[in-house]
């Protein structure tokens, strides 16, 4: 199952398709990861998440080109957003929003699990994005990031309870 997201950029209209990631996407995932994070995940970490039945791994594709992804693990009481990244050339074009929207749509019927994530306290742009999607600041993990011992902001979003109808 995939969803088309329409967005406008400087060259006009284009479509971004959100669909499940596959092992054949690993090289493209690694490229985006290396360009996005000072301490990137390994190929084997991604392969493990892509094959784990309790994970959701979604990619944002412009044609056949992967431009972003989100990796989420299911736990007893929460969906943990483990990793989200967008290729630097495709940032500020709604790709991360499209990925989060698709994640929330995909998990909408799971009314007992909330959502959690960690984000660098200095990453104000990402924090604002998460807050737009209902995440709240819930705590701090001191020295969480191994590259510079930066703190991580813990964010939480309650499950969505839909009215019976």
The structural domains of the chain, with segments of one domain joined by +, span 3-113
Task: Determine whether 118 is an active site residue.
Answer: yes
Nearest to 99 by CA among 63, 131, 57: 57
Q: What is the pTM of this model?
A: 0.87
Q: Which residues sit opposite 139 in a β-bridge?
A: 154
pLDDT of 162 strictly over 80: no
pLDDT tens for 72-111 read: 999 999 999 999 999 999 999 999 999 999 999 999 888 8
DSSP 84: E
pLDDT tens for 113-135 read: 999 999 999 999 999 999 999 99
pLDDT of 15 strictly over 60: yes
Contact 45, 28 (CB under 8 A): no
Statement: 3-113 belongs to CATH 3.40.630.30: yes
Of 89, 130, 144, 150, the catalytic one is 130
Q: Which residues sit opposite 3 in a β-bridge?
A: 18
**For position 4, what pLDDT does the model report?**
41
Share of the chain above pLDDT 70, in %: 88
Question: Which has more pLDDT, 5 or 152?
Answer: 152
Task: Determine whether 105 is an active site residue.
Answer: no
Indicate the range of 4-8, 15-19, 76-80, 94-98 predicted with least confidence: 4-8
10 pLDDT band (50/70/90 cuts)? very low
Could you give the C-alpha distances from 50 to 20, 25, 39, 88, 129, in angstroms and in order?
Answer: 9, 10, 19, 23, 24
163 pLDDT band (50/70/90 cuts)? low
Of 115, 118, 131, 145, the catalytic one is 118
């Amino acid at each position: 199952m995939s969803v088309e997201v329409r967005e406008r950029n400087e060259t006009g209209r284009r479509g971004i398709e959100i669909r499940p990631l596959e092992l054949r996407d690993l090289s493209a995932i690694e490229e985006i990861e290396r360009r996005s994070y000072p301490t990137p995940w390994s190929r084997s970490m991604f392969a493990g998440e892509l094959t784990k039945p309790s994970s959701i791994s979604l990619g944002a594709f412009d044609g056949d080109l992967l431009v972003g992804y989100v990796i989420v693990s299911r736990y007893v009481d929460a969906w943990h957003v483990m990793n989200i990244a967008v290729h630097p050339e495709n940032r500020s074009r709604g790709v991360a929003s499209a990925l989060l929207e698709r994640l929330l749509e995909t998990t909408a019927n799971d009314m007992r699990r909330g959502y959690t994530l960690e984000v660098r306290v200095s990453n104000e742009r990402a924090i604002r994005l998460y807050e737009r999607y209902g995440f709240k600041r819930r705590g701090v993990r001191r020295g969480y990031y191994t590259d510079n011992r930066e703190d991580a902001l813990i964010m939480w979003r309650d499950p969505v309870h839909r009215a019976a109808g």
